[in-house]
Every structure is written in structure tokens, then in C-alpha cells.
Amino acid sequence: MNNEHKEILRRNRSAIIREIHDIKTIVYALEENGVITENMLEDIMAENTPTDKKRELLIILPRRGANAFDQFYEILVNNQEGSAADILKPELSKQRIATEKRNLAVVRRAQACTPLVVTSPTDDDDDDDLPEKWPDENLISETVIVKVCEESGWMYDRFIKSNSDSGKVYKHQSNPRGYALLINNEKFELARKNGCNLEDRDGTDIDQFTVDQLLDQLGYKVCIREDLTAEKMESTVNQFSQFDHSPYDSFVLFVLSHGESQSIYGVDGKLVQKDKIIGTFHGNDCPTLSGKPKLFFFQACQGQKVDLGAPIASVEPVSSSSGSEPDNVELSLKKMKDLNLNKTSAAVSRDDTVADVRKETSVPAGGDVFIASATIPDYLSWRNTKKGTWFIQAIVYIFQKFAHKDDISKLMTKVNRLVGRGRTNDGLMQVSTYESRLSKDFYFFPGLWLSSSETPAPPSNMQPTS
């Protein structure tokens, strides 16, 4: 392999690792084509995680023959790893996409002549690509790069048909997609003056920064509001519900704050019910969003309980060292007290972590809503004072990696799984949750656009910050 090709692999190692999805198929194809040896294949597949396998492959490839780079590119293209292939030879990107479109057209003509049922690709191995622990400082970055859909293939076909086919997928084609409101409450000095013991939410600035990037790359017009009282939170969401959302296909709201069960704290220590925030966007009160997906994400505690974890059900007896014995439970409870947790989840531990063919003429006023919360009712959520919250970190990581091919429910299932892998130094855990009132599949379709709309300016006191 010549030096130019070696340099391309070296300089773009992280991007290539991120863009390759099915590393097993790629490695076996390389061995079958003589690019790597059987022993090299075994060395690569012996690595523990898909990311480690990709790293080992990129260490081996530069030492292979003169044609290894070109063969690697062809194997990527032939195995639907076009985004990774484009990193190697960006000058061939348009040609590659055009070829894929022609091939897709041939497949569609063949499908029209046969009764063959073609199903969408499956992603049963996605979980193999999720971190084994969370948060993983080696994977968390303040730089967000959302993987985009290709202008060919199954997802592109679904995107094009979403406005007119069976009605099983929400139309999501406007540019921008819609407004995204991000409320971030960090400073709670006013609450403390009012006698409410709420600590400042150190680390939430990282959450705000990464969510802002994520939403921008998903195609939203992001408006950020910081440190709002309960009254101001209500007036802000009311203002957004009165905007003309007619040109747009969805709406997103993130709220980052302290909370109690089903309620969110303003910086003055007063509570706003989540149902009141969500209800502001019901179809009768916000008609220009009626029938369109409205996504709500709440990063906040829902109480004071901590999740001590539970053993996985087993047919084998659980040994006394599993932590199931009463004395071990008492020890865990003692550790919990030692954390000095208060009802705001702001306590710090040693690792800086604190706690749906027909045209519808009408739709349910309270429908087309998706609600995700950092934790279940009555429980704490965890925030690293330097890296942000487990929940928001997981959303950013999962969405940038999988939003180009997964619907919102599958994305959030992955988020739940990732958050559930988190542990504090004291072994405390967290489980995030979501509720869907959506009647169709919702995809973000990052990178795909069909229409472009001029965004009406928000009121002067609601100007977007990004």
C-alpha cells in the first residue's frame, strides 16, 4: 500500500470506525479476497468489541499488498458500507450513489414483476456496537457528528414515500424539520433564596451544547432558553405553541432541570407539571402541529429513590455474594446515605456523577406525542458534573450513530439499554423511560430534504441562540 493510501487510513481512522456498521461481513470478505490472511482474521475477530475489531483491521490493512486499499474500498461498496467507502475515495461518491440508484431501479422493476416480498434490512447486531459500560469517556465527545441517510436504498425509498404511501410513516421532509426548544435550568440561587434546597446543575452546559449540535444536524431550528422560573417556563412553551408550525413536520422540546415526580422545577424552586407542558401542544391548543409528531425529552429527577439494581432472574440459586442478602442491602442503603443525596439529585460522588392508508380528516387531540424521561417516577437520575447527564449523553450518542436507520422507538430502546448500563462508584443505577402516543413510525431522516421552508422569526424575546 502506498504512503498516500496509508495516510488516508491513518487520518480518517475515527471516521472509518464510526461509519462501518457490519465489521464481521467486511473482515470475512477481506479474507475471502486474499487481502488479509486467516490468522489475521482470527486476530481481528478475537477482539472484544466491534470498535476494537475495526481498530485492529485498520492497523493490519496498511501492511498488506499494493491493491489492499482499492480492494477494501470495493468490499465496502459491495456490502452497503457506502459512507465508509466515501471516506476512502470521496471523488467517487457521486458515481457510487448514481450506481446504487440504478441498481435500486432494476430491483424495483424486478419486484413489480414478481410476488416476492422484500423486507427491510434487519439490525439484530446493533447491540454488539453499544458500549459495554456507560458513560464511556472514550466515546463521549462534545463534537457531535450525525450519520446521515444515503440518497439511495431502503431508507431513501421510505423517505420519498412517507408523504403519500400507506400512511405508516410520518412525513418528515420539510427544511427545517421544525422548531426545537431547549430549556436548560442550571443556576438555582433564586430557589435557595426561596427556601428550596436545589443545588446548581453543574455539567448541564455540556448537555446543552451537545443537544444543540444534535438537533441542528437533525435539521431543526434550535431555540435555547436558560434559567427560567416556573412561570417563565409556562409562558415560553405557550409562546411556542402559538407559533405557526404549518411549514414544518415536527416539533421537539428538551427540558433540562431538577424535578419531582411528573413535575419540573423552575429556577425559583416552583414546580410545573410535565402534563401541563405537553398539553400546551395538544391539537386543539396548537392546531398547526395537529397530526404531526411532537417529541418531549425531560432530563430531571422524579423523586428521591435510588436504584440499587436487582439480580437477573436465574434458575440457579443466587449466592450470598450477589448482593441479595439483607446485610448487603443494608450496606447499600448505608452507602446511599453517605452520598448526602437531597431531593434535587445534585449530590456528587467520587466520579463526579450526581444524581400509521386512508386520508385522515381528524386525529386525536392528545395524539402524535412521544415522551422520554431520564428516569422512572420516584427515582433519581444521575449527572456527571463535568460530562453531563447519563440520559442526555446516551441520547446524543445513540441518535448520532443510529438515527439514519432507526425510528424513534428503536432509538429510545437503545438509549434505555445504554443508561441501564451506568453505575456510580457506589453501584447505584438508573433506567430511563419513554411513552409513545405516535400512530405511525417516526424517522428523523437526517441529511434528506425534499422541501425548504422559510422559518418565521420567533418573537424578539425568543430569538434562537444557534
Residue 362, pLDDT above cutoff 50: no
Mean pLDDT of 26-33: 92
b/e for 372-401, b at 16 or more Cβ within 10 A?
bbbbbeebbbbbbbebbbbbbbbbbbbbbb
Query: In 218-314, where does DSSP find H-type helix?
Result: 230-241, 274-279
Say which range, 126-130, 244-248, 333-337, has the weakest mean pLDDT.
Answer: 333-337
Residue 351: pLDDT band (50, 70, 90) is: low
Higher pLDDT: 317 or 301? It is 301
Lookup result for grid cell 447491540: 127
Collapsed DSSP state (helix, strand, coil) of residue 425: coil
351 vs 94: which has the higher pLDDT: 94
Reference 440, options 291, 325, 314; nearest CA is 291
Average confidence (pLDDT) over 106-113: 54
Whether cis (ω within 30° of 0) applies to the bond prior to 317 is no
Predicted structure pTM score:
0.67
Domains in the chain (CATH in brackets) are 3-110 (1.10.533.10), 128-299+339-462 (3.40.50.1460)
Structure confidence at residue 138 (pLDDT): 75
Rounded CA-CA distance 31/379 in Å is 50
Backbone angles phi, psi at 55, to 5 degrees: -60, -45
- pLDDT value at 345 more than 50: no
Split at pLDDT 50, 70, 90, the class of 93 is confident
pLDDT value, residue 354: 66
CB distance 442 to 384 below 8 Å:
no
* Residue 464: per-residue pLDDT: 43
As given in the structure block, the three cell numbers for residue 251 are 416539533
Judged against a pLDDT cut of 70, whether residue 47 lies above it is answered with yes
Q: Mean pLDDT over residues 42-71, rounded?
A: 92
Q: All 3 cell numbers of residue 156?
A: 431513501
Instruction: Give first-to-last CA distance, the chain, whole Å.
Output: 44
Classify strands 353-354 and 294-299 as parallel, antiparallel or unpaired: unpaired
CA atoms within 13 A on the CB side of 132: 5
126-157 burial code (b ≥16 CB/10 A, e <16)? beebbbeebbbeeebeeebebbbbbbbbbbbe
Contact 261, 303 (CB under 8 A): yes
C-beta of residue 135 within 8 angstroms of C-beta of residue 412: no
**Model confidence at 400: pLDDT above 80:** yes
Q: Which of 103-107, 144-148, 153-157, 356-360 has the lowest mean pLDDT?
A: 356-360
Dig out the grid coordinates for 404 from the structure. 439514519
* Per-residue CA distances from 247 to 66, 274, 292, 332, 455 (Å): 53, 27, 11, 53, 8
pLDDT value of position 22? 85
- pLDDT higher than 80, residue 146: yes
- At 409 the three-state DSSP class reads helix
Counting residues of the chain whose pLDDT is more than 70, the rounded percentage is 79
Give me the pLDDT at residue 1, please: 86
* Calpha distance 63→1 (Å, rounded): 7
What's the mean pLDDT in 461-466? 43
Rounded distance between C-alpha atoms, residue 429 and residue 308, angstroms:
6
List of residues 6+ apart from 461 with CB closer than 8 A: none
User: Is the Cβ–Cβ distance between 88 and 8 less than 8 Å?
Assistant: yes
Confidence of residue 319 (pLDDT cuts 50, 70, 90): very low
Predicted local confidence at residue 105, as pLDDT? 60
The whole-chain average pLDDT of the chain stands at 83
Query: How far is Cα 410 from Cα 408, in angstroms, rounded to an integer?
Result: 6
Of the listed ranges 159-173, 405-419, 438-452, the one predicted with least confidence: 159-173
78 or 367: which leads in pLDDT: 78
User: What pLDDT does residue 106 have?
Assistant: 61
Q: Identify which has the larger pLDDT, 293 or 114.
A: 293
